[in-house]
Amino acid sequence: ATDMDLEMVSSLAAQGASAPEGMLPSYPSITFPNHYSIVTGLYPEHHGIVANSFYDPARKQTYSYHDSQSVGDGSWYGGTPLWVLAEQQGMRSASFFWVGSEADIQGIRPTYYLKFDGRFPNPKRVEQVLAWLRLPPEQRPHMITLYFSDTDTAGHRYGPDSSQVADAVHELDGEIGRLMDGIKQSDLPVDLIVLADHGMAEVKGAPIHLDQYGFNPSGFGAIVGLGLYPKSDDDAQKAYEAMRGKSDKFAVYRRAQVPAYLHFDSNPREGDPVVVPNGPYFVNLAADLTAPGHLPVGEHGYDATRVPEMKAIFFAAGPDIRHGVALQPFENVNVYPLIARILGLDLTNLKTGPVDGKLDVLERILQIN
């Protein structure tokens, strides 16, 4: 999307700050972990949403993004999301879709929120955000989230370089333009941050089915996606040894030995062993788990240092943002302390402990001291 002539996000960059080479998503670079990292300042293994779907060996339960019951159950979610932080400190918040916003987390939901419905028209999403800004001061939210999914859907189906993705990007650029116009008309001091949870890469080569590389499911009590949950440590070790070194297309690690920079080595929800693709390859357990004709053209989830197309957009503009600042790539966990600082929210005594993000990474884009 960065190569396209995007009028609104280009003007955002000129008016404020941007990351021309992209923002680094947390590993794995998929939707639920990264949406929740952005609003908690924590890596996925620290906030607990380690994949879109995963198993929790302690709970003996599976979390799935397709299951409204688990999505709406606040006990799955660690950390203190921005809307919870705001509400705890006497500030109203609103969410037009965001991972976790439907759940009761620490006994709190946003003042205004909606249950996710991907068919909800984008123009109406923008209209609702602007309607919230028009509320009387005593009802108006001061922290609002808004989500669009069109580019992700088109990227999976048609690939990142497709005309369909270009069309989706231009449509969303127009929606952001309408949002910017509405903010301007409101005369309110609004800071607007436009970012993504991850990028998208074109899948290379034939699918990689791990059962062809020594993987045997018999030693596992649960398997969710690429999350392998062994019956015993011996079973984990056997699976690790069976797959280790079998292909240059993926690496396999015992969980405790996953490279430290991925921050994916300490949460039982991650499974053991952990399989990490080395490039934009479609990796699954067995051919019979792939629905015929349903292989994605575009995919994400990869290590952004190996697959740079995983990097996400970041633009910020408003009265508190300095003009024309170009940032080097930075980790998305650093957005949380930035927004908390803009809103004047205190991070010193979080019940859930210190965050992984650091204010000094992005502090220089602020006009405020």
Catalytic residues: 31
CA angle in degrees (0–180, nearest 5) for 351-356-360: 115
The CA distance from 298 to 302, in Å, is 12
Torsion of CA 178, 184, 190, 196, to 10 degrees: 20
Residue with the two structure tokens 């699918």 = 207
H or E segment and range at residue 298:
strand 298-299
Could you tell me if 165 and 158 are in contact, meaning their C-beta atoms sit under 8 angstroms apart? yes
The encoded tokens of residue 293 equal 């004709």
* Helix ranges (DSSP H) in 160-214: 163-186
Q: Measured between alpha carbons, how far is residue 346 from residues 1, 74, 85, 148, 222 in Å?
A: 35, 22, 8, 29, 40
CA angle in degrees (0–180, nearest 5) for 244-247-250: 80
CA angle in degrees (0–180, nearest 5) for 172-70-94: 45
The CA distance from 144 to 149, in Å, is 17
Contacts of 314 (CB under 8 A, 6+ apart): 17, 18, 19, 22, 23, 193, 194, 195, 196, 327, 335
